[in-house]
Structure 1
Amino acid sequence: MMRAIWRGLPDKRHEVGWEPGLVVPAADGSPLVTDHYFPRTAGDFPTLLVRSPYGRGLPWSPMYGMLFAEQGFHVVLQSCRGTGGSGGAFDLWRNEAADAQATVSWLRRQPWFDGTLGTIGPSYLGYVQWALALDPPPELKAMVVQVGLHDPYALFYSDGALRLENALLVGLGMTYQHQGTVPFARAALRLQRRLRDIVTARPLRGAYASALGEVPWLDDVMTHPDADDPHWDGASLARAAEHLSVPTSLITGRYDALVDQTFEQYARLRQAGCDTALLVGPWTHTSAMQQGWPEVFAESLAWLRAHLCGEPSGLRPTRVRVHLGGEDVWRDLDDWPPLSPATTSSTTSWVPTADGHLDRRTDAGATGGAGSADGPGPVDGQGFADGPDPAPLASLRYDPADPTPSIGGPLLSRTAGPRDNSVLEGRGDVLTFTGPPLAEPVDVLGPVSARLSVSTDTGYADVFTRLCDVDARGRSTNVCDGLARLETVGQAPSEVTVRMSSTAYRFPAGHRIRWQISAGAHPRYARNPGTGKSPVDAVDFTPIRMTLHTGSVLMLPHGSRPA
């Protein structure tokens, strides 16, 4: 069945056996229900640990239990506490390190465990891997983190703005998926039908209960927007990568909701000198594990065979492989970003004009700054070069009662990915600045950012900014984007830097580069009420007049094109 769905999977090496319903004692003795898949062949085989809050049935059983066992691995597929029949109460992120260590202790007592351990899995199944890596046991020899999570706060917030759609979909998955296909499908349909009422409720707090029921941890998430709040203490596992020596493969997609988290951990692993590999495909969070599964499985299997079985022949020759959007090609790179900012990297500045154009300027070069040879520009991450006071370029009116909608991008939902932005860009609350047709292709490889000089009439606003590719027919397709929260003093322009994620994208000759700016993207992000009140508790809304001023600049990192 799996080979009928996915073409290109390797032939199986072994028949598979199955021991369902094993009980592993957690750190506090709570029973963790566990299934064991194994090759029906005499001999020793390494073990893969897969810990999941989403149940042990579809798709985990065939994709991890069966496929990897038939390739020569013991696979231990375990339900996290409070899910899938396991005892205790599920508490997002707080028990994973201790429960993973308890599971390794149990493995040591199993007669089939040969002392060689790897971990694998996507999304929250990546989080539990980082939890084990905080204090990696000596048996842990390899990790494969697929579209993985390490920082729950960054999953739910961007600069203090609630990622509303993420919060609802994570609440759906964590609450219902481990209950089985039918309960999950019913809850998903219920959320879909009631989504509009939920995301437009005043106040927003608790509105999700009509579809999801009471979810205490989700209410905690939605009411703690400050990253420094003690609620988030210990949630981020970024530190697990800072001193790790376990060979680690990272897999993501350009439109994965967790793509930035993958790039961040890759940088930490490289800084630590850890053996690591990075694969970036043309995928979203879900499509990586669906349409992209043959590539993801091949990459994962090669890494595990190399580091657990001593079979390195399947590894690719370069550390990094990325899919270059725009022309649908793959590139093998020595590192990511492909060129070090301290050496020969370059950043091109694109400056908006009052007539809606986007002018290209040559950058300063080695520092990665966005200054230009033909006029003043930003000189660092904190402010703008000395010069005339910023002058207004364009303005928009954002009405929280009729919020700018979100279209495509790095989401958890099926609407994620590249989408036609033409209708969105026709709204009065969206600004666009468009460059001329390109005489030759332009490759953008690495982190994209924008520095904006912005004023508002209320003092409170969000700034959503997006890079788009406009083809010869005028279709505008989103490449990457970001959002920042803005508070201004009076009506004087304020400076804000927006990180717009990283990308690998080729703008073909004849296409145009577009910079899109708005004051929100709903329901991807909760509406800014324009009053300074919490978006979760706000009942009253105030429309916002936001003005973009001169001195604003879009910064695109360059990568050299292949010969």
Structure 2
Amino acid sequence: MIVERDVPVPMRDGVVLRADVYRPENDALVPAIVNRTPYDRSSPLIQLAAIEPERVVDAGFALVCQDVRGRFASEGEFYTFFADGEDSCDTVEWAAAQSWCNGAVGMAGRSYAAAVQWLGALERPPHLRAISPIVTGSDYYDGWIYEGGAFQLGFNVFWIWLMTEPRSVNKLDEVYRHLPLRTLRVSDLAWARLYAHWLAHCTDDYYWRSLSINRRYEQIEVPALIVGGWYDVFLRGTIENFVGMRERGGSDDARRGQRLVIGPWAHGSTYGPYPDHSFAPFAPHDALDVADLQLRFFDRWLRGERNGIDDEPPVQIFVMGENRWRAEDDWPLARARETSWFLREGGALTQEGPGSEAPDEYVYDPRDPAPTIGGPTSLPSKMMKANSGPLDQSRLGDRDDVLVYTSDVLEEALEVTGPLSVVLHAATEGDDTDFVAKLADVTPEGQALILAEGVLRARFREGFDRERPPEPGHAYEYTIDLAATSNLFLPGHQIRLLVTSSSFPRFDRNPNTGNPLGVDEADDLRAARQTIFHDAQRPSRLILPVVPR
């Protein structure tokens, strides 16, 4: 294998980015795979996070690993996403022009290194043939920096510290509790500016629209092998990219060539091959050679090999509970039936709708928020254990500010595969607040293992383009997006829905004041009484896609 270090790659504005190139020793022209990362392309673990160089070269490809603009050896100023479209395009075209390349180029990488693939594909580089984005979003407002209008404090601060003070990422408890948010000390000036801009643009405005992938699928003309996890923080965007490209992709190849793989995995660390690890309930059944899938995909689209991929179902999902992989013809599943499970008095969850029932109430106090316990997160570890995935939510049910609704014990298995949502009819005494919903699978032993979680900030109940403050005491309908899952609730298990107003530190604490984001200090926080209605006129409900078996 030939390895060239610190190769200069000039951008259209004269800035020089640096790359390492791995390629076969023979003189044959080969396709190139580009990986662009902000996490130090010279680290062997970072290379593995995209695709293993040795496997790429053994398969007859070249691999170009590049530091993005302003990171490590590359010149320029780092600012998330804004330069990455043009820089990815220029890097693809540079690779195609090299004497060792046959002119066909793909891209690979995960998280940020996956985001730059979509942004680059939007520029339509003439020699880009395919991409393989792993665990990334479709929109950098809703589903990345924000979720349901709430600031994704846990992920955002974790990411900043990972990039600026990596030795302190497991000591963030006090950082998360800092108020007001706008005065959080960020040691690196570039990241301090980014953090300030994220807070300043708290609606889905021009700042975010200029970057969105989901508004521009028609501009993307290449197939994509899209990989995600049921416990990934970017799950909803991962799925939206697949569905959007199948419907609106900019070429026949793009629409027909989309492939989706979702396992029972979380976002993982930045380092090592994806997935980094398995969660105990699913191992070893979730084992999958993602690199092999990528190389077959690139054989098809960078070499034109008719290797059978075109004839295979485009979707592979891992069905949790049953713990097996299954191929599907599309997403969402056409045979899934949208089924309502109604919140009922006494904490019941039934398919029978309510009649005349009294509402449930709780007091949400942002000075004592309900904690994040696992789920689709990207947070620092707690007590040396990952704070993501199928963790037990039982202790949340002991809190006075968490409502719990549980079905009867299931006599037969029930498969839920597809998009999830909760419709709440609710009122708050605050001038603003959040509503959080969590779906869990309750085992016969009493563990409530989380499957999905969603949030909606009250002021964004009608959309994220502008704020519409709620009237205190007035009941509104709130639709909370819980992304998706695939889970077989086994006989003897129960379905559980938890409703509260915080999941901290995943989401910032809503101070209930209605003030602009980030200005409230500790003394400004105030408690608010929340009312959840579940009667015939206001039927709060969990909506599950049930798959007949």
State the TM-score, normalized to the length of structure 2.
0.87
User: Does residue 406 of the first structure (1) align with residue 372 of the second (2)?
Assistant: yes
User: Does residue 145 of the first structure (1) align with residue 129 of the second (2)?
Assistant: no
Q: CA RMSD in A?
A: 2.1
SS at match of 1:59: helix
How far 1:105 moved relative to its partner?
3.4
Q: Is contact 1:172-1:212 (8 Å) kept?
A: no
- Greater relative contact order (Cα < 8 A, sep 6+): 2
User: Does residue 248 of the first structure (1) align with residue 224 of the second (2)?
Assistant: yes
User: Does residue 329 of the first structure (1) align with residue 313 of the second (2)?
Assistant: no
Whole-angstrom CA distance in 2 between matches of 1:214 and 1:499:
30
For residues 392 and 223 of structure 1, do their structure 2 counterparts lie closer, same or farther at Cα, with a shift above 3 Å needed? Answer: farther
User: Does residue 298 of the first structure (1) align with residue 292 of the second (2)?
Assistant: yes
Question: Match for 2:340: what amino acid?
Answer: S
Question: Match for 2:317: what amino acid?
Answer: V
| Counterpart in the other structure of 1:415 | 387
| Counterpart in the other structure of 1:488 | 470
How far 1:188 moved relative to its partner?
3.0
Q: Is contact 1:23-1:34 (8 Å) kept?
A: yes
| Counterpart in the other structure of 2:341 | 350
Question: Match for 1:196: what amino acid?
Answer: D
Whole-angstrom CA distance in 2 between matches of 1:468 and 1:213:
40
| Counterpart in the other structure of 1:95 | 83
Tell me which of 232, 236, 255 is aligned to 2:212.
236
Whole-angstrom CA distance in 1 between matches of 2:213 and 2:9:
24
How far 1:120 moved relative to its partner?
0.9
How far 1:466 moved relative to its partner?
1.0
How far 1:225 moved relative to its partner?
0.9
- Deviation string, structure 1 residues 477-508 (Cα, Å, up to 9, x no partner): 11112100114324132111111111111111
Whole-angstrom CA distance in 2 between matches of 1:106 and 1:138:
11
| Counterpart in the other structure of 1:524 | 506
Structure 1 window deviating more from structure 2 (128-137 vs 46-55): it is 128-137
How far 1:476 moved relative to its partner?
0.4
Question: Match for 2:196: what amino acid?
Answer: D
User: Does residue 393 of the first structure (1) align with residue 355 of the second (2)?
Assistant: no
Whole-angstrom CA distance in 1 between matches of 2:543 and 2:7:
54
Q: Is contact 1:450-1:498 (8 Å) kept?
A: yes
Tell me which of 437, 446, 449 is aligned to 1:474.
446
Tell me which of 518, 522, 527 is aligned to 1:536.
518
SS at match of 2:239: helix
**Number of residue pairs aligned between Structure 1 and Structure 2:** 504
| Counterpart in the other structure of 1:158 | 147
| Counterpart in the other structure of 1:221 | 198
Whole-angstrom CA distance in 1 between matches of 2:170 and 2:190:
14
Q: Where does the alignment leave 5 or more consecutive residues of structure 1 unmatched? A: 1-15, 177-186, 362-373, 377-387
| Counterpart in the other structure of 1:30 | 15
Q: Is contact 2:420-2:485 (8 Å) kept?
A: yes
- Deviation string, structure 1 residues 149-181 (Cα, Å, up to 9, x no partner): 3422120112321010111122134x34xxxxx
User: Does residue 125 of the first structure (1) align with residue 108 of the second (2)?
Assistant: no
For residues 27 and 211 of structure 1, do their structure 2 counterparts lie closer, same or farther at Cα, with a shift above 3 Å needed? Answer: closer
SS at match of 1:132: helix
| Counterpart in the other structure of 2:383 | none
- Deviation string, structure 1 residues 339-393 (Cα, Å, up to 9, x no partner): 1xxxx542111111121111124xxxxxxxxxxxx678xxxxxxxxxxx7xx542
How far 1:146 moved relative to its partner?
0.9
How far 1:25 moved relative to its partner?
0.8
Whole-angstrom CA distance in 1 between matches of 2:63 and 2:93:
16
SS at match of 1:247: coil
Whole-angstrom CA distance in 1 between matches of 2:354 and 2:336:
21
For residues 146 and 496 of structure 1, do their structure 2 counterparts lie closer, same or farther at Cα, with a shift above 3 Å needed? Answer: same
SS at match of 2:512: coil
SS at match of 1:238: coil
Whole-angstrom CA distance in 2 between matches of 1:142 and 1:233:
24
Structure 1 window deviating more from structure 2 (201-210 vs 111-120): it is 201-210
For residues 212 and 258 of structure 1, do their structure 2 counterparts lie closer, same or farther at Cα, with a shift above 3 Å needed? Answer: farther
Whole-angstrom CA distance in 1 between matches of 2:188 and 2:90:
35
How far 1:275 moved relative to its partner?
1.5
| Counterpart in the other structure of 1:368 | none
Question: Match for 1:323: what amino acid?
Answer: F
Whole-angstrom CA distance in 1 between matches of 2:542 and 2:265:
25
For residues 513 and 208 of structure 1, do their structure 2 counterparts lie closer, same or farther at Cα, with a shift above 3 Å needed? Answer: farther
- Deviation string, structure 1 residues 11-47 (Cα, Å, up to 9, x no partner): xxxxx22000011111211110011100123322111
Whole-angstrom CA distance in 1 between matches of 2:493 and 2:23:
52
Structure 1 window deviating more from structure 2 (139-148 vs 446-455): it is 139-148
How far 1:211 moved relative to its partner?
9.4
For residues 306 and 108 of structure 1, do their structure 2 counterparts lie closer, same or farther at Cα, with a shift above 3 Å needed? Answer: closer
How far 1:294 moved relative to its partner?
4.9
How far 1:527 moved relative to its partner?
0.4
1:201-216 to structure 2, matched below 5 A, reads 201-209=178-186, 215-216=192-193
Q: Is contact 1:124-1:148 (8 Å) kept?
A: yes
Tell me which of 198, 217, 220 is aligned to 2:175.
198
SS at match of 1:251: strand
State the TM-score, normalized to the length of structure 1.
0.85
1:98-113 to structure 2, matched below 5 A, reads 98-113=86-101
Whole-angstrom CA distance in 2 between matches of 1:79 and 1:128:
12
How far 1:405 moved relative to its partner?
0.8
User: Does residue 360 of the first structure (1) align with residue 351 of the second (2)?
Assistant: yes
For residues 422 and 210 of structure 1, do their structure 2 counterparts lie closer, same or farther at Cα, with a shift above 3 Å needed? Answer: farther
1:42-121 to structure 2, matched below 5 A, reads 42-56=27-41, 57-62=43-48, 63-121=51-109
Question: Match for 1:557: what amino acid?
Answer: P
Q: Is contact 1:432-1:516 (8 Å) kept?
A: yes
Q: Is contact 1:31-1:86 (8 Å) kept?
A: yes
Whole-angstrom CA distance in 1 between matches of 2:288 and 2:346:
47
SS at match of 1:85: coil
Structure 1 window deviating more from structure 2 (430-439 vs 457-466): it is 457-466
Q: Is contact 2:97-2:103 (8 Å) kept?
A: no
User: Does residue 266 of the first structure (1) align with residue 250 of the second (2)?
Assistant: no
Question: Match for 2:47: what amino acid?
Answer: S
Whole-angstrom CA distance in 2 between matches of 1:212 and 1:137:
33
How far 1:314 moved relative to its partner?
6.3
For residues 416 and 208 of structure 1, do their structure 2 counterparts lie closer, same or farther at Cα, with a shift above 3 Å needed? Answer: farther
For residues 33 and 211 of structure 1, do their structure 2 counterparts lie closer, same or farther at Cα, with a shift above 3 Å needed? Answer: closer
Whole-angstrom CA distance in 2 between matches of 1:375 and 1:548:
13
Q: Where does the alignment leave 5 or more consecutive residues of structure 2 unmatched? A: 249-254, 279-286, 380-385, 459-468
Whole-angstrom CA distance in 2 between matches of 1:492 and 1:140:
53
Structure 1 window deviating more from structure 2 (315-324 vs 419-428): it is 315-324
Whole-angstrom CA distance in 1 between matches of 2:517 and 2:500:
18
